[in-house]
């Protein structure tokens, strides 16, 4: 497959912000508290579980996966309209966040899991999929050169050659609401330093203070959602479907 002609289109598309779909969850327990993950990585602070959407999954599926991997909870989605908005831009490789060719590493082997220290023994396994953002950008580059849509195998070959190309990513997060069903710390993959439950009052107070530094910093997405005027109503609906809490909580 001729690569260089398509590469010029990839680089042109990557020089402007490329949308990167992200899926996350606002997880609520029966006491109307919200589950949060503390992540020092990239100075994120306290955040909702979230991550990039792979090209083989829906945003809802990605959000449920992130709940298990980042915060160790099994949940059930609530029938509420998800919150979607445009996030910040950042610079990274085309391959950022894609399972294909990734290394299997446990970055955080211990986690303070809702007040209880747990060992993390599972890492996010490499896979064959790539981020939806990368998939869609590569498909567009192919169409610009060839005038037709590519096969998936052609996109994967492009990805394998171009994964280290620089991209300006623009986060495009969608947050779903979910009710707590069970705890599964054994499913965590070593991305989180600590997990905790926050009351709505605590969440809103922190959002108003907008502390910019760890360890009290709230992720920007959290602050944005915490101050939404309908949040209390949405949390109450999610709480109605949650199980009573069954582990020590903090």
Peptide bond preceding 63 in cis form (omega within 30 of 0):
no
Q: What are 144-158's pLDDT values in tens digits?
A: 999 999 999 999 999
Residue with tokens 């160790």, as numbered in its chain: 72
What is the per-residue pLDDT for 52? 97
Average pLDDT, the chain: 94
Q: What is the pLDDT of residues 16-49, one digit of tens each?
A: 999 999 999 999 999 999 999 999 988 999 999 9
DSSP 11-64: HHHHTS-EEEEEEEEEEE-TTS-EEEEEETGGG-EEE-SEEEPBTTS-HHHHHH
Q: Does domain 4-239 have CATH number 3.40.50.10260?
A: no
Q: What is the pTM of this model?
A: 0.94
| pLDDT tens sequence across 167-199 | 999 999 999 999 999 999 999 999 999 999 999
pLDDT at 247: 60
Q: Where are the domains of the chain?
A: 4-239
Note the pLDDT tens digit of each residue in 237-250. 999 999 876 565 44
């Amino acid at each position: 497959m001729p690569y260089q002609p398509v590469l010029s289109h990839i680089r042109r598309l990557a020089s402007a912000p490329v949308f990167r779909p992200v899926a996350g969850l606002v997880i609520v327990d029966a006491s109307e508290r919200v589950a949060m993950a503390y992540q020092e990585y990239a100075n994120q602070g306290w955040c909702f579980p979230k991550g990039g959407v792979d090209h083989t999954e829906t945003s809802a599926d990605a959000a449920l996966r992130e709940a298990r991997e980042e915060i160790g909870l099994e949940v059930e989605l609530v029938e509420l309209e998800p919150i979607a908005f445009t996030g910040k831009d950042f610079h990274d490789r085309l391959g950022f966040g894609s399972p294909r060719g990734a290394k299997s590493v446990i970055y955080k082997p211990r986690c303070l899991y809702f007040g209880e220290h747990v060992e993390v023994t599972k890492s996010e396994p490499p896979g064959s999929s790539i981020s939806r953002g990368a998939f869609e950008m590569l498909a567009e580059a192919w169409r610009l050169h060839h005038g037709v849509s590519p096969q998936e195998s052609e996109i994967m070959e492009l990805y394998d050659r171009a994964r280290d190309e620089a991209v300006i990513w623009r986060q495009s997060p969608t947050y779903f609401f979910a009710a707590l069903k069970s705890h599964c710390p054994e499913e965590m993959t070593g991305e989180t330093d600590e997990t905790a439950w926050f009351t709505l009052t605590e969440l809103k107070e922190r959002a108003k203070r907008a502390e910019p530094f760890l360890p009290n910093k709230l992720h920007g997405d959290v602050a944005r959602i915490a101050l939404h005027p309908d949040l209390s109503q949405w949390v109450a609906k999610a709480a109605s479907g949650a199980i009573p809490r069954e582990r020590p909580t903090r």
